Structure 1
Amino acid sequence: MKVILSDDHRAHFPDGEVYEGSFVRPFECPERWDHVVAALDAAGFVDRYEPQPLALDRVVRIHDPAYVEFLRTFWEDWTAAGHTGDAIPTMFPVRGLRNDRVPVEPDGRLGYFALAAETAITAGTWQAASAAAAIAQTGQRLVAGGSPVAFGLCRPPGHHASSDQFGGYCFLNNAAIAAEGFLVDGADRVAVLDIDFHHGNGTQSIFWERADVLFTSLHGHPADAFPYFLGYEDETGAGPGGGHTANYPMRPGIGFDAWGTALGDACRRILAHRPDALVVSLGVDTFEGDPISFFRLAATDYLEVGRRIGALGLPTLYVMEGGYAVAEIGTNTVNVLSGHLEA
């Protein structure tokens, strides 16, 4: 198992986030990375790689160039306007407002490109987000080059980032960038399996009209869980992408039996798609002890998750998404990877 990681993630750590009416310490924190690395060390996952330089020409195949430029330069504009704290969006182009004009003033521009108010931009956001995307690209190249499986320890995560919006702790969509990379490098079809607790709204929207990428997602029902406004079963794609999106929303309290049934169906859809490569958005916030989810998977269940994905027999890249039970994130992540190798 090749592992790609970078210390650049530490550059991004906001002072806090808005959660249930309070300003709290961010759940998406650097310690998550530390615990995963410690578990990788303990399990003997020592084949480590630093990411290659970010290929921006591939990033803009997924993300609007104006959005990428916003992420790259916004902190300079924010501080030039006299702001000293983290940039937290507070105004959005919601129903009844125009979204065809990008404001010049930094607060307006921030809201234009934002999905939600819990995600702040800091002085080091671009450094960390671009490194996470570079990790995904490097892992993709390793798998495309013949490695059967790799793990990109991406932080910040990416699956909530759409072509031109950040939110849900995400800025660049690492999984989508990797999937597109496989296609650029010669794959005819790719599948994305999102097993994070939260729906991968960004990935779904990016590939909504694409037939060459199958998107499948197992997640908390949007009636109950972030991001609330996408992730229903009747969302199946549009145009050439019709039938190439499959959502498995599930209600509070479900354990591995029901969740595993959904995984089995998703795996059958993946095999029917006949992909040349598989990208797994690996979130372990489905864990029973996670502070911001409501599924009930146990630590040992993640071994079986990995076995089932490994049994697909596909060249596979795992990219890290969520998981906020910090003390257990390492064990749960490594269990998935270990199960994959057992398959």
Structure 2
Amino acid sequence: MRMVHGILMWVLLVSATCHFVSAFTDGLLPNGDFEKGPKRSDMKGTVVINKHSIPNWELSGFVEYIKSGQKQGDMLLVVPEGAFAVRLGNEASIKQRIKVTRGQNYAITFCAARTCAQEERLNISVSPEWGVLPMQTLYSSSGWDCYAWGFVALSNFAELVIHNPGVEEDPACGPLIDAVAMRNLYPPKRTGTNLMKNGNFEEGPFIFRNTTWGTLIPPNIEDAHSPLPGWMIESLKAVKYVDANHFFIPSGRRAIELVAGKESAIAQVVRTIPGKHYSLSFAVGDAKDACVGAMVVEAFAGKDTIKVPYNSKGKGGFKRAVLRFVASETRTRIMFYSTFYSMRSDDFSSLCGPVVDDVRLLSIRKP
């Protein structure tokens, strides 16, 4: 009897310990869309008062459970996935523990919207790694943007925390969070036919099928931990990761849209042989997202550069360009950015820009 009692206590202890541990599969985290909500007894108005009352999540601080269509003054709060989201007040956070594979690369994708302050930001972390994502710039007219953040698992468990470090006078004045997903990334390798890693951008963060605005990859992300493997976001603002379900893609299923002029750049450092000739080819086009007008993509290979104009009608299409150069170093930086800012012709509050795709680098014989 004592043995049975001991086994039962052990099972209960393990169950309690693993209550917030989720087995990982690509896509939404368990209750990542917050559709499973708290009981009424665990709420005071919209404020959640029990830190364990939203299934699969642990809450800290001033967290509200928001229903789509709820009003905040004259503003109607809309939720991108399902009917519910959470709002993080000053110093509030949500946390979920996920089973991962040690040493593997992962990308978190989540959607967020400002509700009050212009300079809202979010701190996202999987200990000991963390990053602060600025939310000053809106890239979609819906008010919601989806962001990606990459990390390497240092153990078999990842404790994901999304935290609002804000210090607003109104403690409820914080960002809305919805649709938290994760994707296992497989670092691409260079091949005999392409010296670029992930030149076709097929390997990258999760993109939600029910959202039409792509996934933003924030700036200043290191190569090794980037949610866009092989590439660094060397700019002040984000680039947009777009898919063929919602946008025109020159090649394959994924591409990059340079949505913030010269403040929106991607780069990769490749091994080269000094004195050897190389050919850098790539596609430039528009994403079929009503981004109309004259566009220019500037490409750099070390000190060599080329400007590629593209006259967009906003209906999809692309052209190819080639930059030939002679390497002067053992490592050459390849970089792309858009010369101009662009706005959607049907929505002057949404940034857009040229698409870059199918980047190929090959060594060639001396012309």
- For the criterion TM > 0.5, the same-fold answer is no
Query: Whose RCO is larger (CA < 8 A, sep 6+)?
Result: 1
Larger proportion of helix: 1
Report which of the two structures shows the higher radius of gyration computed on alpha carbons.
2
**TM-score normalised by the chain length of structure 2:** 0.29
Larger proportion of strand: 2
